[in-house]
Amino acid sequence: MSPRTITNAGFNLDATVGDMWVDGSWIWPLAWRDVYPVLIQDNIQIVHKDMADRVLWKHGNELHDHSSAIVWQSIRTREPDVDWVCIVWFAQCIPKHAFLMWLIMRRKLLTQDKILQWDFSRRKNMNMMCCLLCYADYDSHHHLFFECNFSSQVWNLVRGKVGMDNVEPKWSVIVDRLCSGSSSKSASSYVSKLVVTATAYAIWQERNARLFKNHARPPDAIGANVLQTVRYKLMGVKFKAMEKCEGFFKLGIFMTLTATTVGGD
């Protein structure tokens, strides 16, 4: 409502909603109802007639001070947490890795197996398609993470650094292993998640570098790059949330184990 509208109707500019409520009815001009339909709704509450106006947000049956946070809580749809939430979004994760991890868990990457499901007219030249990492099969989520001969070599290079020596290069097996310890705040659980997400990220990067830039690196360079990324991350980790002694001990082992294998790539 413009100041002119308010003064033309004979009201002061500092009048409150409470001033409009006199003897049990609204005293604003009837013509306002057509221009401002909100005035017809019965959701204007006079809490205290003498108080200054406040805009409140009704969330459920409660009134809250208005904020974007409370509006978002009201309008968003809620679903129960999936059982893998803790291995994707965890404290002190690497955000770009977490986002890719989320896409992988939802099977949302545009892999070749999806393209091959398109109708025939759109896949004219796609019979030549193959995984650019191993050239043996077309790529898919299962193949890339990490059943592909190339990816599995990378996994085999990094898994021992986080005590996952016996975990085969299969996404479902790795996810089960991470989920079984995902609620733990231990350093080893944290580092395992960092290594798996960094490895998945590096494989997807390598696949895209080969596809779009024709730039290829061998598995040991990818493995070294993963370990280097994790080491850099760990150097900046705040230990408060973790059990300190165990954290320093395990991280010390990780740093020692990876220090000799991390080359300059």
For residue 223, the surrounding DSSP H or E stretch is helix 219-235
Instruction: Report, in Å, the least distance between residue 143 CB and Zn ion.
Output: 5
Q: How many residues bind Zn ion (CB under 5 A)?
A: 4
**Nearest residue (CB) to Zn ion, 150 versus 190:** 150
Cβ pair 183, 176 in contact under 8 A: no
Instruction: Report, in Å, the least distance between residue 264 CB and Zn ion.
Output: 27
DSSP letter (8 states) at residue 52: P
Contact segment (CB under 5 A) with Zn ion among 45-53, 142-150, 178-186, 211-219 equals 142-150
User: Interface residues for Zn ion in 102-131 (CB under 5 A)?
Assistant: 131
Distant-in-sequence, close-in-space partners of 42: CB < 8 Å, separation ≥ 6: none
**Nearest residue (CB) to Zn ion, 148 versus 234:** 148
**Nearest residue (CB) to Zn ion, 150 versus 254:** 150
**Nearest residue (CB) to Zn ion, 148 versus 191:** 148
Burial class (CB in 10 A: 0-12, 13-18, 19+), 20: middle
**Nearest residue (CB) to Zn ion, 153 versus 182:** 153
Instruction: Report, in Å, the least distance between residue 163 CB and Zn ion.
Output: 26
Contact segment (CB under 5 A) with Zn ion among 79-87, 115-123, 133-141, 184-192 equals 133-141
**Nearest residue (CB) to Zn ion, 129 versus 255:** 129
State how far the Cα of 117 lies from the Cα of 140, in Å rounded to an integer: 12
* Measured CA distances, 44 to 58, 70, 85, 192, 233 (Å): 11, 19, 41, 54, 52
Instruction: Report, in Å, the least distance between residue 161 CB and Zn ion.
Output: 23
Q: How far is CA 265 from the centre of its chain?
A: 28
Helix (H, G, I), strand (E, B) or coil at 177: helix
User: Interface residues for Zn ion in 146-185 (CB under 5 A)?
Assistant: 148
Q: List the one residue from 87, 104, 133, 196 that touches Zn ion (CB under 5 A).
A: 133
Interface map 57-96 toward Zn ion (x if CB under 5 A): ----------------------------------------
Tally of CA atoms within 13 A in the half-sphere of 179 that contains its CB? 11
At 51, list the tokens: 């108080």
**Nearest residue (CB) to Zn ion, 153 versus 188:** 153
Rule CB under 5 A: is residue 234 a binding residue for Zn ion?
no
Cβ pair 206, 223 in contact under 8 A: no
Rule CB under 5 A: is residue 134 a binding residue for Zn ion?
yes
Helix/strand/coil percent split, the chain, to 5: 55, 5, 40
**Nearest residue (CB) to Zn ion, 19 versus 137:** 137
Contact segment (CB under 5 A) with Zn ion among 18-26, 40-48, 134-142, 201-209 equals 134-142
Nearest C-alpha neighbor of 236 from the set 194, 192, 179: 194
Interface with Zn ion by CB under 5 A: which residues? 131, 133-134, 148
